[in-house]
Structure 1
Amino acid sequence: MATSLDQEIPQYNPPANQKDPEDEVDDNPIEEVRLTVSIADDPTESALTFRTWVIGLVSCVILAFANRFLNYRTNPLGISSVTIQIVGLPIGKFMAATLPTKKFRCPFTKKTFSLNPGPFTLKEHVLITIFASCGSLGVYAVHIISIVRVFYHRGLNAIAALLLAQTTQLLGYGWAGVFRTYLVDSPYMWWPANLVQVSLFRALHEKEERPKGGQTRLQFFLIVFIASFAYYVIPAYFFQAISALSVICWIWKKNITMQQIGSGVNGLGLFSFGLDWASIAGYLGSPLATPFFVIANVMIGFFVFVYILVPIAYWNNMYEAKRFPIYSSKTYDIDGHRYNITRVLNETSFDLDLVGYENYSKLYLSIIFAFVYGLSFATLTSTISHVALFDGKMIWSTWKKTSTTAKNKFNDVHTRLMKKNYPTVPMWWFHSVLILSVGLAIFACEGFGKQLQLPWWGVLLSCAIAFFFTLPIGIIQATTNMQPGLNVITELIIGYMYPGKPLANVTFKTYGYISMSQALNFIQDFKLGHYMKIPPRSMFIVQLVGTLVGTTIHFCTAWWLLSTVENICDTSLLPPDSPWTCPNDAVFYSASVIWGVIGPAKMFTKQGIYPEMNWFFLIGLLAPVPFWWLSRKYPEKKWIKSIHMPMLLGATISMPPARAVHYWSWGIVGILFNYYIFRRYKGWWARHNYILSAALDAGVAFLGILIFFALQNTSFPEWWGMSYTDHCDLAACPTAPGSTCGK
């Protein structure tokens, strides 16, 4: 492998007669994009073909089924579209070699089409991958269906449930259409995660001479893929304990405090780490695809939260913290027992029973879970102030230029090529999907006996929240690869406005949060198409059809499992070794109790335990101001702008379900590759970094599927390292006086 500092990835350029002289200059201002994305384009290349439809639809169905099936299991495995990105290439080439080339006339038109228009193209491959990604993405609304049926033990109309799932996934098209100018056309919105797929596409399709003493990018991908595939059987099956190694617990085997400090699974995770790519990238995404300044911000925020704020609060027994585990996503009563929801829920009206609540207990959380909610408040307000201060001028400038015929100064080579070669998607396409989705959403909530509890005004308010936050959060994700969520603020708003209604709360959250998240998923895919020069109208059609198909398969799979697997998700009735424990749905259920049944007024005001958490709103709003002022006073100090308060404050929002061991493993790998190797061996990094990420993802995904279907019924001798635990059992113990845990 070449390690020359000056070596860079060779640009794949078209012949001189295919290039616009203007395209040879003013390349993208982001170095990672210049090193990764080609400026070549052939507008005559086939894109949305018969092969695209067949492979894409089948891939979408398979990934939707597999991801929903695996999501209910104790160790949920998410299979990304990178698997189809790899498998789709030989299938596409096989179809190109075997399908008939005869042309057929479309009925009642003069247009013709062919099952085999020629060689399998890169653009077909990209569209197939976009199809597959629509199936690999989760359907958040399915959590509502799950908790209603298996946690609250109530019925739910299947049509209402399907409409809920479809409309929450489709609403985002409206916001995507409105904000695509800012988040796709601007070269400064570079969407780092897309560079992984761009690198893999180029490695799979471009002909490249093997460097002397090294490998082509495709050879490198195959070597890493095989190694990842072979290695993952160890942490996934034979030696699961290496996914979370907690050194301190090996030394202090009977000390609760030391295990709380050292456990990477149930504690603060000091000196913990994992030797498993799924553990490294499973919760925070690939560290190889995350810019170094983001990694630095996240790790600083993680360190301050976990090793300063939480220990001070816990060992000073704030909010009776010692009565509960230091790390837990469960809800508790004053005695430290699991909160008995049946004592405070009116089964007839399905809302809060005030008499039962007053006679029972206020609701308590672990100290980490409580402060994560506080930091969620701070992250929300800091997102608004940060984007307004640092990006407000750019947004306003772009807004003014889109209303005039003046040439947009932000256009780079990729935007010019797209505008020159392909017609854009008409705005009315987006608006039509948006209006229809809003109408069906209101029908789903107001009809069917109002099972979802949310009134029509709640649907409209949730849409307004999603619309307001799509641009600022989109800017953060497009530049940092991290997406602050709206789940907490939406829960908070509807919890105050419509308290005691658990389904209204989670439905409002889903419409407000997921329509924004889906919009950014669509925009990210549009940016991938932008880099790969895919016709925008073909992208829109593929995304729309893929979303409809993928959501339907997710819904049908969930409905089938919930109806056929006995006692699914109910750990009190399942056998100890049952895989159907539904960890994601359990967290979702806890949130519905906190924000829906009990409500924020009885949690975050003087009526509850945590009123001080509201100060985080003000802290977050003011936090970016001093760094903005410093960046203006000292413009020559570029590092000041790298201090990103939404990232710092929101660093630990993934906890739970993410654990300390995941942060340490992610941070170490990210710093190694995106700081040390990027600076010391930039040529190697440019050539191999994103391909390495894709190969590791693919190896884990393929082996995970193989293990599930080949070894799930195979017994292996039980031993110390067989289970996914860091052997810090005492870390989950409360330490209040009188506790007998660990004694």
Structure 2
Amino acid sequence: MASILRRLGLRASTNTTPSDTASKRSEDPAPDSVEKDKTNAFTTDAQVAGDLSLDPDATGPHVHTAGDETLVDSDPALRDLPWSVRRVVSLVDDPSEPTLTFRYFLLTIIFVVPGAFLSQMSHFRTTSAPYSVFFVQICANYVGIWLAKCLPTRRWKVPFIDFEFSMNPGPWSTKEHVLVTISAASGATYNLAYAPISIAELYFNTRINAGVAIVFMWGVVWTGYSFAAISRQFLLYDPQYPWFQALCQTALFETQKKDREHTTPTSRKQMIVFFSVLGGVTLWQFLPEYVFPMLGSLAFLCWVAPHNATANFIGSGFGGMGLLNLSLDWSNISALGNLFLLPFWTQVVMFVAFAVNCWILIPAAKWGNLATYKHGLMSNSVLQANGTSYPLTKLVTATGTLNTTVYEEYGPLYFGAQMLWGIFFSYAAYTSAIVWSLLFGWKAMKASIKKIQARRSSTKGQTINFQYTDQLNILQRSYLEVPIWWYVVLFLCSFLAIVPAVAAGQLFIPVWTYFVAIATGAVMVTPLGWLYAISNYQLPIGTFNELLYGIMVNAVGGHKNPTGATVYSSIAGDAWYRAQYMLQDQKIGHYMHIPPRATFFSQIFGCTLGIPINYAVVRWVLSTKREILLGVVSDPTNQWTAQSLKSSLSTSVQYVLVGPSAMFKEHIFKPLPYGFLVGAIAPVIFFALHKAFPKSKLKFHLWNTTIFFSILTNFYGNISTGYTSAFIGSFVVMYWAFRYRYNLWARYNYLLAAAFDAGYNLNMLLIFLCFGSGKLIAMPYWWGNNEQSSERCFAL
């Protein structure tokens, strides 16, 4: 056991208090002889990330304390760190702090088990109880402090091995706190592989063996975590990539640490602000979410003309265009991301995409000639030619093949106009992500790769972060790096977990498609990770995965069970999805000076612990709610609807049974493949404009076409409120306050981001427990909760 801990880069727990003396800077390799070019990756990407490299209030050199040293901004250890990082992240470290202690394991189990249960259960329900990582971060701190006071301090010797430990090695440490939260972020969540397991049993009466199912669920997560190795050398260690969600959590960790260890008037005020806002948001959300739903969509045009159909359609946020519509519901305002975290340029692009979607394309389709098929304009259902819902389940035989008799009876499948252009732009976003990252991000990535090669040759293969000379990487040199073979072993575990099951025919896909899935996932890790690191925007690409699988199986023949599309999408999707989250949480570890091997272990331990809980929930729901989920028996609470599963079944039937070739021959689907071409060309145009007019006020390098196209796919017709409110809030917080009240912004912005999200999630949990977990308790109707329309759009 002791040898295992040493390999993890840890010390055995002791009864001593962590040293008050912060570690000094280790010997720093000679800095590069050439001054960093101002047009280099840092300057360019810092501007892309919101000009965070510049302090608006800077009037001279700033002074920072790093252990026993004093550093100024021009110091090589500081100059590469964005200003937001310098203002939030501590530049000192105490390597003696305990990490993987008894308290860590105990709290990880306490927080992961219920989180995995609630998160997985929510995907079968209409409403859910969100399990926020901020909830864990807040609660774990106070439980950890309590454990440090009450647990026995005696040392325990493990029989038969030379190892002893203490259940209480001293005061509750920040590193234990961070590791518990990272484990919860990995394990207290749902698993993407639940969809094929559930669809196979619900709709095709095929129950996947429990052992195969659990191993498959582990495998898809391990694939994504192993793929983090592809990009970590520059997306993780390069200081130019801020990872705003990681910075947000770090701000809260640092504030909690100061309040716990060295309380100052500033830290006390920060905690007062945090808990005041958390409590205020928690109480406020009872109004739009339950008592006063009208606050969720303030449709001013409906108030002026409540019985005018045109005015209602234009002004409604629930089923209309959302023009002149505001929302005071955080769930609507933060639908596309926390406005305190998204850089202002990102939110400008998102709002423009929303305006194009709702205020240009929708009226052009409704009142113009944009769409030839006029049914279901703002519906995400699959329709018949007459506009009625298509009975998709009748298309599938008991053996999972196309029922040609039913298909001939009901005819081709149709989509509403908005869903059609949503598919078109989802294809465009996919190719745009690749091309944009190559054009605008390749310079930064190439510079990082060259640094890696140069440093490795000069330092004779020392740890990865020797290539960077910033203070955070210098501090991390005190710890052993995660070797690449750990990631290789993790991938081999996922490979051995999935391939035998696929080869045995238990997962509905041909073996060769598995290799295509992991290859496409590997290709997308870097461009999508780069986009997420600089913009805090995560691109969904599930539609493309299902399309690609449909093309492959229809070209080769066989394997026509629609469940195969969700199996393939689970593997390919998690390959990049989990990689991004692993890098994000490792960035938290980097900011908080956690030993990299301890961070890696905490992530694997968290997901390994949570997945059996995920599967147990799937089994419980499918065993007890099967007839309700299928609609055979009425659900008195109207909660167990399995909406996400039905959506997955719909796309699977389209792409696998009907097939892309047959689908794209239909006149309304013919334009869709051109989305790939549009996505490839658009970044080239903006790159050319940026090169031709580098100093233009239009800032062409900020108009990210990937985000723009992706937002055009994210709006599904039933909710168009919140976007205008989010843009107004973003202007105040991320533009005005950042530029003109920077010191105030730097002190409170990320704390407010955490407080708003934590308050919202706590409110959802309370509403679920009080009004929806047992008997559904509805709010009585009144003026602010009109039975016909909470917005008072009576003619919609």
The two structures share one fold, judged by TM-score above 0.5: yes
Which residue among 226, 233, 250 is the counterpart of 2:279? 226
CA contact 1:7–1:682 (8 Å) conserved in 2 = no
Alignment deviations for residues 616-648 of structure 1 (CA, whole Å, 9 cap, x no partner):
211110111122123223333472321211111
Identity, in percent, stands at 29
Q: Match of 1:248? A: 301
Distance 1:553 1:244, change over 3 A: farther
**1:191 Cα offset (Å):** 0.6
Encode CA deviations 1:531-560: one digit per residue, 9 max, x unaligned.
111111111111001111112212211220
The 1-side partners of 2:615 and 2:58 are apart by: 49
Secondary structure of the corresponding residue to residue 756 of structure 2 = helix
Q: Does 1:475 align with 2:527?
A: no
Q: Deviations over 1:41-64 (max 9, x none)?
A: 111111111111110121011111
Partner of 2:270: 217
Matched, 1:63 2:115: yes
Give the aligned residue type for 1:217. Answer: Q
Whole-angstrom CA distance in 2 between matches of 1:341 and 1:609: 19
1:615 to 671, 674, 681: 674
Greater CA drift, 527-536 or 21-30: 21-30
CA contact (8 A) 2:63 2:70 kept: no
State how far apart, in whole Å, the 1-side matches of 2:632 and 2:319 are. 21
SS in structure 2 at match of 1:533: coil
Displacement of 1:521 in angstroms is 0.7
2:442 alignment partner in structure 1: 392
Deviates more, 1:243-252 or 1:667-676: 243-252
- Offset, 1:505: 1.3
Residue in structure 2 matched with residue 696 of structure 1 by the alignment? 756
| Inter-partner Cα distance in structure 1 for 2:222 and 2:677 | 34
The offset of 1:380, in angstroms, is 0.9
> 261-270 vs 43-52, which deviates more?
261-270
Q: Does structure 1 residue 334 correspond to structure 2 residue 393?
A: no
Alignment of 1:167 with 2:219, yes or no, is yes
- Paired residue for 1:414? 472
Q: Does 1:272 align with 2:272?
A: no
> How far is 1:730 from its partner?
5.4
- Structural mapping, 1:31-42, within 5 Å: 31-42=83-94
Question: What is the distance in 2 between the residues matched to 1:656 and 1:50?
Answer: 47
Q: CA deviation at 1:100?
A: 1.5
Shift, 1:320, TM fit: 4.0
Deviation of the 1:700 alpha carbon: 2.0
User: AA paired with 1:621?
Assistant: A
1:33 Cα deviation from its structure 2 partner: 1.8
Q: CA deviation at 1:440?
A: 1.5
For 2:423, the equivalent position in structure 1 comes to: 373
Contact 1:327/1:369 (8 A) holds in 2: yes
Q: CA deviation at 1:85?
A: 0.5
Alpha-carbon distance in structure 2 between the residues aligned to 1:19 and 1:676? 29
Give the structure-2-normalised TM-score: 0.85
Q: Quick one: which of 142, 145, 153 aligns to 1:90?
A: 142
Deviations 1:243-270 (A, max 9, x none): 2332323334344443332221222221
CA contact (8 A) 1:187 1:411 kept: no
Local SS of the residue matching 2:281: helix
> Which shows bigger deviation, 360-369 or 258-267?
258-267
User: Given that residues 319 and 610 in structure 1 are in contact (C-alpha distance below 8 angstroms), is that contact kept between their aligned partners in structure 2?
Assistant: no
The structure-2 alpha-carbon separation of the partners of 1:272 and 1:77, relative to structure 1 and needing over 3 Å to count, comes to farther
Pick from 765, 780, 787: which aligns with 1:717? 780
AA at the equivalent of 1:124: E
**Cα shift at 1:152:** 4.9
Q: 2:707, 2:618 → 1: CA distance?
A: 34
Deviation of 1:170 after TM superposition, in Å, equals 1.4
- 1:421 is displaced (CA, Å) by 1.0
1:599-610 maps to which residues of 2 (within 5 A)? Answer: 599-603=659-663, 605-607=664-666, 609-610=668-669
Whether 1:434 and 2:491 are equivalent positions in the alignment is yes
**What's the secondary structure of 2:165's corresponding residue?**
strand
**What letter is aligned with 2:676?**
F
Partner SS for 2:272: helix
For 2:446, give the aligned amino acid. Answer: W
Distance 1:555 1:522, change over 3 A: same
Deviates more, 1:359-368 or 1:151-160: 151-160
- For the pair 1:78 / 2:78, whether they are aligned, the reply is no
SS state at 1:470 partner: helix
Q: Please, which of 736, 747, 756 is the counterpart of residue 687 of structure 1?
A: 747
Distance 1:572 1:670 in 2: 46
1:149 counterpart SS class? helix
Match of 2:162 among 110, 114, 129: 110
Find the residue that maps to 1:612 and give its secondary structure. coil
Query: 1:195 and 1:35, CA in 2 relative to 1: closer, same or farther beyond 3 A?
Result: same
Q: Which of 163, 177, 182 does residue 130 from structure 1 map onto?
A: 182
Choose from 331, 335, 342 the match for 1:290.
342
Contact 2:129–2:768 (CA<8 Å) still a contact in 1? no
Deviation at 1:477, TM superposition (A): 0.4
Query: Aligned AA for 1:227?
Result: G
One-letter code of the match for 2:245?
A
Q: Given residue 606 of structure 1, which amino acid in structure 2 is its aligned partner?
A: K
Identify the range of structure 1 (227-236 vs 252-261) with the bigger mean alpha-carbon deviation: 252-261
Separation in 1 of the partners of 2:728 and 2:217? 38
Q: How far has the Cα of 1:224 moved from its partner?
A: 0.9
- Code of the residue aligned with 1:551 in structure 2: it is I
Cα distance change on mapping 1:550 and 1:44 into 2, 3 Å: same
Unmatched segments (≥5 aa) in structure 2: 1-54, 460-465, 555-559
Residue 7 of structure 1 contacts residue 684 of structure 1 at CA under 8 Å; is this kept in 2?
no
When residues 598 and 576 of structure 1 are mapped into structure 2, their CA distance, relative to the original with a 3 A threshold, is: farther
Q: Which whole-Å CA distance do the structure 2 matches of 1:417 and 1:729 have between them?
A: 62
Which residue of 239, 262, 270 corresponds with 1:187?
239
SS at match of 1:405: helix
1:112 positional shift: 2.6
In structure 2, relative to structure 1, the CA distance for the partners of 1:170 and 1:443 (3 Å cut) is: same
Alpha-carbon offset, residue 114 of structure 1:
1.0
Matched, 1:51 2:100: no
**Aligned with 2:285: secondary structure?**
helix
What displacement does 1:475 show?
A: 0.3
Question: Partners of 1:571 and 1:30 in 2: how far apart?
Answer: 54
- Please give the alpha-carbon distance, in whole angstroms, between the structure 2 residues aligned to 1:304 and 1:238: 33
Q: Deviations over 1:145-186 (max 9, x none)?
A: 333334555544333332332211111122112321021011
Distance, in Å, in 1 between the alignment partners of 2:781 and 2:546 is 43
Matching of residue 423 in structure 1 with residue 483 in structure 2: no
CA RMSD of aligned residues (A): 2.7
Secondary structure of residue in 1 paired with 2:106: helix
Matched, 1:520 2:580: yes
Shift of 1:514: 1.7
Separation (CA, whole Å) in 1 of partners of 2:750 and 2:631: 40
Partner of 1:335, secondary structure, is coil
CA contact 1:149–1:156 (8 Å) conserved in 2: yes
Deviates more, 1:607-616 or 1:434-443: 607-616
SS in 2 for 1:661: coil
Larger mean Cα displacement after TM superposition, 144-153 or 118-127: 144-153
**1:264, 1:35 → 2: CA distance?**
39
Q: Where in structure 2 are the equivalents of 1:575-724 lying within 5 Å?
A: 575=635, 577-603=637-663, 605-607=664-666, 609-637=668-696, 639-656=699-716, 659-712=719-772, 713=775, 714=777, 716-722=779-785
Superposition deviation, residue 691 in structure 1? 0.6
In the TM superposition, residue 580 of structure 1 has moved relative to its aligned partner by: 1.6
Single out whichever of 711-720 and 478-487 deviates more from structure 2: 711-720
Instruction: State whether residues 12 and 38 of structure 1, in contact with CA within 8 Å, keep that contact through their aligned partners in structure 2.
Output: no
**Residue in structure 1 matched with residue 617 of structure 2 by the alignment:** 557
AA aligned opposite 2:501:
A
1:95 and 1:208 map into 2 onto residues whose CA distance is 20
Tell me, yes or no, if the aligned pair for 2:187 and 2:608 is still in contact at 8 Å.
no
Count of paired positions: 718
Give the CA deviation at 1:522. Answer: 0.5
Aligned with residue 359 of structure 1, among 409, 417, 431: 409
Secondary structure class of the residue paired with 2:373: helix
CA contact (8 A) 1:453 1:503 kept: yes
Cα 1:252–1:477 change in 2 (3 A) is same
